[in-house]
Amino acid sequence: MNDLLKKNLNLRKIEFWAATVIYVFATILLLAKVANSGEREIWTPYRYMFDNYHLHYSYSKYYFFPQVFRYTGYYGAFLLWNFVIVPALAGKRQVAWNIILGLALLTALWGLFGITDTWLKGYLFYHKSADYVYNLVFKTNVLYALWVMMMLTFYSMIKYSASFLLDNVDKIQAKYRALTHDCIIAIVVFMIIAFMMALVDAPIELITSFIFIAPTAIGIYALSFYSLIPQTLVQKRGIFIYFLKVAGVMFIIGVPVGFITALVFDQAEPVFIIFGFNSSIQILLTAPFAWIVYKRKIAGNQEILTLKTALGRSTADLDFLRSQINPHFLFNALNTLYGTALQESSERTAEGIQRLGDMMRFMLQENMLEKILLVREIDYLNNYIALQKLRTQTSPDISIVLQIEEHVDALQIAPMLLIPFIENAFKHGISLREPSHINISLQTKDNTLYFDVHNSIHPKMVNDTEKHNNGIGLENVKQRLILMYPNKHELVIRESAKDFFIHLTIQLQ
């Protein structure tokens, strides 16, 4: 209960302001009538008794001020009971003191109602003795004070019960499958309406009908949702069969309901009236509503399943794209090491093998992660570029310019996202026979990555085994960018007869 009290701070504010607004509004209505009381007679519950005894009636004396004091008593009692006494009792704090405070509140209400009632029923003093009037008024109002306290208690019970139900919807549904979220909301609404009916002293016929119809509607809805409708759909039957099942359930329910109705009214006629009205409500309103909600739930579940399937397919495509990148790069790296080994036998080859080992370790350990630190991606790029330089450093006509930022804080990026552009640059931009250049720039600003690669282009040799192979790296990275950075990246590719340029920006966080 303490947890509920802590969670309902906003509810307490709503209760306070709602009670205050009602109190102020009711007082303003009384004041508005005071302004008109001098021009015309204002109806009040006991005015006709003053007229019967030919007594002068003052609206201010015999109604306005007594009612203002009563409204103030209602307002104060609500605040004291709802915000002081009940929370303390629920939290088991100063129990004895708060019980005494509750009894004092009951006594104060009794005295207030008794005193104000002597003015509301002032006509009694003109034909009865004062002792008789006081005895009658205070005996009557002790019951009225008890009724007000009972209504305050009933309200507190409804509030905490509703709060408990709403705060534990998931647990209740897990334990009692038939109680859907809608049913729990309906139970809360039912309790509130029942309280309002008791508060306004509604006719017994209306209260009885509501007590039978509302719980029956909740039960029919839950039964339909988890039994009648699924069974009907599994049997490939239509809504008409479902309505027949609901009618059968209502006929079975009608026996105990009719018996209770007969005990309440001690007549046969109300039994058939309530049974007919209740059955009509359930078959014509509750049953179709449950059918529509269930159909919409099925459609929603199907949509969620479709989205999950699409998400799984996208994930599978992403994993496939990753798997395509690694063999392609290893093939290029092994070709580079093979060419280096032909030129010289030790130092450069050893360096190349070491860098290749670092890169393979990166692919095995970090390439399968969704995100890695940008600094680790930069290390991978530097290893790759250094490995490629082993075969180009002896050619004076090859220019490789790097402007790669080393300090990138704690930014993260999808692994192997930038390497295809550099692979593409070395694959198509380097020629050992013609002047070649590669310019690579990587900078970050305000959590945004700016990546540029500019390289020369050389026509393939006739005997080049990859002459007709356009490669898969760029297409893969385009798809990965769409999957992993939707609406958070911009890729610009420009190509001429002798140059190839890409500009990529990514919002990393």
Mean pLDDT over all residues of the chain?
77
pLDDT value at position 2? 43
Examine the pLDDT at 38 and tell me if it is beyond 60.
no
Examine the pLDDT at 360 and tell me if it is beyond 90.
no
- Percent of the chain with pLDDT strictly greater than 70: 70
- What would the DSSP string read from start to end of 345-380? SSHHHHHHHHHHHHHHHHHHHTTTSS-EEHHHHHHH
- Judge whether 216 and 275 are in contact, CB under 8 Å: no
State the pLDDT confidence band at 443, using cuts at 50, 70 and 90.
Answer: very high
Work out the number of other CB atoms within 10 angstroms of the CB of residue 7. Answer: 12
Give the model confidence (pLDDT) of 138-181 as tens digits: 888 888 888 888 888 877 877 777 677 666 656 655 555 545 55
pLDDT value at position 461? 62
127 three-class SS: coil
- Judge whether 20 and 12 are in contact, CB under 8 Å: no
User: For residue 27, how far is the Cα from the chain centroid?
Assistant: 39
Examine the pLDDT at 12 and tell me if it is beyond 60.
yes
Give the model confidence (pLDDT) of 284-324 as tens digits: 888 888 888 888 888 887 778 777 767 766 665 666 555 55
pLDDT value at position 3? 45
CA distance 242 to 230: 10
Domain chopping of the chain, boundaries? 1-167, 344-461+468-507
The radius of gyration of the chain from alpha carbons, rounded to an integer in Å, stands at 42
pLDDT value at position 501? 94
State the pLDDT confidence band at 206, using cuts at 50, 70 and 90.
Answer: low
**Per mean pLDDT, which range of 61-70, 186-195, 219-228 is the poorest?**
186-195
Class of domain 344-461+468-507: alpha beta
Q: Where do the DSSP E strands lie in 446-480?
A: 448-456
Average pLDDT over residues 50-60: 81
pLDDT value at position 243? 87
Q: 124-133: buried (b, 16+ CB within 10 Å) or exposed (e) per residue?
A: beeeeeeeeb
- What would the DSSP string read from start to end of 474-489? HHHHHHHHHHHSTTSE
pLDDT value at position 107? 92
**Per mean pLDDT, which range of 52-61, 104-113, 238-247, 484-493 is the poorest?**
52-61
Give the model confidence (pLDDT) of 69-111 as tens digits: 998 998 899 889 888 998 888 888 888 898 999 899 999 999 9
- Tokens 């593409």: give the residue: 424
State the pLDDT confidence band at 337, using cuts at 50, 70 and 90.
Answer: low
- What would the DSSP string read from start to end of 5-62? HHHTHHHHHHHHHHHHHHHHHHHHHHHHHHHHTTTSPPP-TTHHHHHHTT----HIII
CA distance 85 to 19: 17
Examine the pLDDT at 500 and tell me if it is beyond 80.
yes
Examine the pLDDT at 4 and tell me if it is beyond 50.
no
* Comparison of pLDDT for 267 and 328, the residue scoring more: 267
Examine the pLDDT at 439 and tell me if it is beyond 70.
yes
Give the model confidence (pLDDT) of 243-280 as tens digits: 888 888 888 877 777 777 666 666 667 667 777 777 88
State the pTM of this model: 0.43
Q: 238-260: buried (b, 16+ CB within 10 Å) or exposed (e) per residue?
A: eeeebbebbeebbeebbeebbee
448 DSSP assignment: E
Q: Is 197 exposed, middle or buried (0-12, 13-18, 19+ CB in 10 A)?
A: middle
Q: Is 261 exposed, middle or buried (0-12, 13-18, 19+ CB in 10 A)?
A: buried
- Judge whether 31 and 23 are in contact, CB under 8 Å: no
